[in-house]
Amino acid sequence: MRKSEIWAFFLLPYVLVLGLFSLVSYLNRQAIQSGVETLAKEQLQATASILKENIKELLDRNETPARILGRFSGLEDVYFIALLDEKERILDWHSKFEGYLPFSRRDRPAAEFWVVDSPLGSVFNHYSSFSAGDGRLYHLYLGYSLQNLDHLLARSRRIFWLVLGVLSVAGLVIFAGIYRLHASFQRASAEAIRQAEEKERFREISGFTAGVAHEIKNPLNSLVLLFELLEKKSPPELGPQISRGKGEIQKIGAVVDRFSELIKPLSLRKEKFCLAEVVRGEADSLQGLARGRGVTMELKIPPRLEVEGDRLLLARVVSNLIKNALEASDSGQKVTVEAGFRRQAVIFSVKDEGRGITPEDSEKIFEPFVSFKETGLGVGLYLVRKIVEAHRGKIYLKSRPGAGTEFTVELPGGQNG
C-alpha cells in the first residue's frame, strides 16, 4: 500500500467520524436548546396567565402597581416583571439585576415570545395584554432567565471539545502506530527484496568467479613453476625482469584468491576477547600508511572493552574500515576511531574528514565489486558487512560530500569491564 493510499485509507474515515460527531453534537445542543425554550415558553405562558388574573384582581381593589409587582418580584426564574398601561408606558417594574429592563417599544418584536441577552445570560421574554374590571387595557412584560440553559449548553460545548480532542489525539496516535507499522513493513519488504536480489546476483557471480578462478589458478601455478625454473637457469642479468614477472603473477594469484574468498561461506570461531587490543594492533599496523599520507589517528577506546566473536574476522573489519578512512583523507586531516558499550551492544566507529560520499554512492557502497577508488576491487566493504551480519550485527554509514564519512558497527552482547 502506497503512502497516499494510507492517508486516504485513514484520513477519510477519521474526518468522517469527527464530522459526524460534530454534527451529532451540534444537533444535540440544538435539540436541548429547543426543548428547554419550549418548556420555558410553556412555563412562562402559564405563569403569565396566573399573574394576569391576580394583577387584575388587585387592580380592581385599587392596589398600586408598585405594591402589586412587589408581591410577585420574588418568583423563581422570573428575571424581571413590568406592568405597562394601554399606551405601553411603564407603570412599575422589578428586576433581579438592578437597573436592567430590556424593553423598547421601537425594538419590541411583534411576536409574543423572544429571547434577548442580558448581563446574566439569555432571557426569554413574554409580552401579553389583559383588561381590568373597569375596561382599561394593561400589558404584562415578563422575563424568564435561561441561565441554566446557558450553563447546560456551555457544559455541552466543553464536553464536545473535550471528547473531540480525545478522539483527535486517539486518532492521531492510531494513525502514527499504523504509519509506523506500515513503514516498518515497507522497510522489511524492501530489505527482503534487496537481499533476495543480492543473493541471486551473488549466486550468479559466485558461479562465474568459481569457474574463472579454477581456470586461472592452474595456468598461474604452471607459470610460477616456469619462472622459478627460469630463475635458476637464466643469466644473472635477466634476474630482475624474471623476478618482476614472477611478482606480477603472484599479484594475479592474490586477486584470484580475494575473489575466491568472496564466495566462501563464513565459518565463525567465536571467543571472548578484548576489542581494544585488536583495534590498537590494527591501528599500529596502519601507522605507516597514516604517516605516508600525513594523516593523524586518534583512538578513543576503553581499555577493557570485550566482545564475543571471531577475532580474526573482526580484526579484518577494523583494519578495512581504518584503511579506507586513511585512504579517503588528505594531509593534515584526522581519522577518529571510537568504541564503547551502549544499550547491551558494542559500538565501534571510524570517522574521517575526507571528501565524503554522495547519497547515490552510499546506496551501492556495500555491494560486491563496487568501488570508487582507482585501484579498488570492490570486495572490502562487502566482506565487512558480511562479517558484521554473520555476528548478528549491523553497520551504518553516515556521510556528506565535503564533510567526511563515518562507519559505525553495532555488535550485540559484549562487556565493558
Phi, psi (deg, nearest 5) at residue 335: -115, 125
HSE-CB of 157 using CA atoms within 13 angstroms: 7
Q: Are 383 and 316 in contact (CB under 8 A)?
A: yes
pTM for the model? 0.47
Q: Which amino acid is at 135?
A: G
What confidence score (pLDDT) does residue 352 get?
Answer: 92
Query: DSSP states of 106-152 as a string?
Result: TT--SSSEEEEEETTEEEEEEEEEEE-TTS-EEEEEEEEE-HHHHHH
Q: Are 94 and 81 in contact (CB under 8 A)?
A: yes
Maximum Cα–Cα distance for the chain, whole Å?
Answer: 158
What confidence score (pLDDT) does residue 290 get?
Answer: 92
What confidence score (pLDDT) does residue 298 get?
Answer: 92
* Nearest-10 Cα torsion for 289, 291, 294, 299: 90
3-class state of residue 409 by DSSP: strand
Per-residue pLDDT of the chain (417 residues; tens, 9 = 90+): 565 666 666 667 777 777 777 888 778 777 877 777 777 778 778 888 888 888 888 888 888 888 888 887 777 667 788 899 988 888 988 887 766 677 777 677 777 887 777 766 777 888 889 998 888 899 998 887 776 666 666 777 788 788 878 877 887 787 777 778 877 887 888 878 877 776 666 665 655 565 566 566 667 677 777 777 777 777 777 777 777 777 777 767 766 666 566 556 677 888 889 988 999 999 999 999 999 999 999 999 888 888 889 998 899 899 999 999 998 888 999 999 999 888 788 999 999 998 888 888 777 788 776 666 655 566 788 888 888 988 999 999 998 888 899 999 999 876 665
What confidence score (pLDDT) does residue 137 get?
Answer: 93
C-alpha cell at 49: 396567565
Which alpha helices (H) appear in 266-402, and where do they start and end? 275-285, 287-293, 311-327, 359-362, 380-390
Q: What is the CA radius of gyration of the chain?
A: 46
123-156 residue pLDDT tens: 788 888 999 888 889 999 888 777 666 666 677 7
Nearest to 29 by CA among 125, 165, 154: 154
